[in-house]
Every structure is written in structure tokens, then in C-alpha cells.
């Protein structure tokens, strides 16, 4: 059982427990449930930098990235830096995140917010909307084609953008459908945790231009982004690179300034 299998098994248990206490109908009474969302796909199309910053305390491959960060302050710093959107990890066990981080970020900024989560149930999509998300992440490696269709169509009916993440050609072929807004290529090999930008380059030509192309993982330099832009990528998810510093917002400001030069 690899790390992704473990995470998914734990996530299914977590969702089943939550359902016992909070039925999905309760989320629909949230004050945020009727709000108009911000489109990340549109923000990326209109941007010359395409940066999606991330709030992440730790990960399975790195025990501690930034355990002391305040999500509201970091979100404001990112907004000041001019990022297109912000990804918020909401997984507790493996990433040290929480659904509360999402709502605190929502209260702090007017940016498109991506709920970065291992979505295995429609329940989590309804929950994401109730807690202020604008975008959900669907991971092709853990979902069937039918689940991708069902989950993405539900998200679109709630006014949410959908970012579908793939790691290889097989995942990409089963995933392409009109209910997606963005196709993200994760440069990290989930079995070895090695990172290579070649994954994004190789898959770029297979992604139809109807979708915003996003490159994820291993993007730690301005050079990496300049290398990927000719392949049609408009979005670049940067997590650890900002979060490992004392002031993620300042790091983002500096990074974007260098990118524009």
C-alpha cells in the first residue's frame, strides 16, 4: 500500500464519521453557500504570471514545512503579492491542515481559494462550498472516470471551478471532459516522490486548449516557470517554496517581481 492508498483509506473513514454528525443538508444553510465564487481559471487566463500559492504546514515527504504560520496573515501576504489564487490544504493527518484554515483564509482575502483535499465523496464538495472554497481539486489517480464526471458536474452546479490533477498519460485520457476547467500535471512521482518537469512537458501536447494548463510540484524557481510557459502552461502551483520561509507573502512578492523582470 503506497502513501496515496493510505491517505485515501483514512479519508473515507474520516468522511463517514463526519456524515454521522453533519448531514450535507446542514452545509446548505451556511452563509457562504449562496455566495458568488471567484474563478481561478479566469484569473489564470488573465494573468501574466499565473502563480497559485499554497498554505501547507507539512506533508508526508516533509514532516515540518512551517508549523507556526497564521493562515490569515499568509493569505493577506499572498494577496498583496498579486497571486492568482491560493491553495489551502484541509487534510489533518498527513498535511496538518484543517477545514478551519479554509474559512479563515476566506475571511481574510478576496482571492480564488482552492480546497486542496483528497476528494472521495460528493459530501466534501458540498462542504467545500459551505466553507468558502471557489475551486476543488480532483485527483485522477484515486477516482474512476464516472466519479470524476459526477464530482465535477456537482461542483459546476455549485458554481465551483474544477482542477483535475493527473500524473501520467493514462490518467489524462480517462479524465478529459467538459465539466473541468483546469488540468493540472503533478510533476511528482507518487511512488518514488521524485520530481521532474519533464512530466509537464510530455503531457502538455495531450491537453486540449479548452482547459487551462496548470503545472504542480517541484516549481521552485522563476527559470522553471519560464521553461514551462512555451508548453502552454498558464498556472503554476507553488507550495513549499514560499511556505518554508519565515514570511511566505514576502517570498511571493520577491518571486513574482523576479518573474516579471
CB contact at 8 A, 127 and 135: no
Nearest to 97 by CA among 47, 58, 153: 58
Secondary structure letter of residue 173 according to DSSP = H
- Point out the catalytic residue in the list 121, 200, 217, 241: 217
The one catalytic residue among 11, 116, 129, 213: 116
Q: Which of 66, 87, 152, 186 is catalytic?
A: 186
Considering the candidates 127, 216, 234, 240, report the single residue annotated as catalytic. Answer: 216
Note if 54 is an active site residue.
Answer: yes
Q: Is 56 a catalytic residue?
A: yes
Q: Which of 117, 95, 90, 118 has its CA nearest to residue 105?
A: 90
Task: Select which of 79, 117, 127, 165 is catalytic.
Answer: 165
Which is catalytic among the residues 11, 39, 53, 54?
54
* 53 is an active site residue: no
165 is catalytic: yes
Give the burial class of 30: count Cβ atoms within 10 A of its Cβ; 0-12 exposed, 13-18 middle, 19 or more buried: middle
Helix (H) or strand (E) holding 101: helix 99-108
256 contacts 49 by C-beta, under 8 angstroms? yes
Q: How far apart are CA 127 and CA 141, in angstroms?
A: 22
Give catalytic residues, as residue numbers: 54, 56, 116, 165, 186, 216-217
Amino acid at each position: 500500500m503506497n502513501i496515496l492508498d493510505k491517505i485515501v483509506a483514512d479519508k473515507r473513514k474520516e468522511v463517514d464519521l463526519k456524515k454521522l454528525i453533519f448531514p450535507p443538508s446542514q452545509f446548505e444553510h451556511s452563509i457562504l453557500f449562496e455566495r458568488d465564487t471567484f474563478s481561478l481559471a479566469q484569473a489564470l487566463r488573465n494573468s501574466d504570471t499565473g502563480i497559485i500559492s499554497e498554505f501547507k504546514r507539512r506533508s508526508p515527504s516533509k514532516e515540518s514545512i512551517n508549523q507556526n504560520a497564521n493562515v490569515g496573515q499568509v493569505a493577506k501576504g499572498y494577496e498583496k503579492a498579486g497571486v492568482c489564487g491560493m491553495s489551502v490544504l484541509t487534510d489533518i493527518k498527513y498535511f496538518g491542515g484543517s477545514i478551519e484554515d479554509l474559512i479563515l483564509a476566506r475571511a481574510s482575502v478576496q482571492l480564488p481559494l482552492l480546497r486542496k483535499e483528497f476528494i472521495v465523496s460528493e459530501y466534501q464538495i458540498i462542504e467545500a462550498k459551505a466553507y468558502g472554497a471557489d475551486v476543488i481539486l480532483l485527483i485522477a489517480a484515486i477516482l474512476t472516470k464516472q466519479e470524476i464526471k459526477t464530482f465535477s458536474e456537482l461542483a459546476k452546479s455549485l458554481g465551483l471551478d474544477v482542477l483535475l490533477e493527473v500524473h501520467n498519460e493514462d490518467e489524462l485520457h480517462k479524465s478529459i471532459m467538459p465539466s473541468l476547467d483546469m488540468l493540472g500535471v503533478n510533476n511528482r512521482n507518487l511512488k518514488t516522490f521524485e520530481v521532474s518537469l519533464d512530466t509537464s512537458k510530455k503531457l502538455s501536447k495531450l491537453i486540449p486548449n479548452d482547459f487551462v494548463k496548470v503545472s504542480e510540484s517541484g516549481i521552485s524557481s522563476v527559470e522553471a516557470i519560464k521553461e514551462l510557459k512555451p508548453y502552454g502552461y498558464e498556472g503554476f502551483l507553488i507550495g513549499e517554496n514560499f511556505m518554508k520561509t519565515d514570511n511566505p507573502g514576502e517570498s511571493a512578492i520577491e518571486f513574482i517581481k523576479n518573474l516579471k523582470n
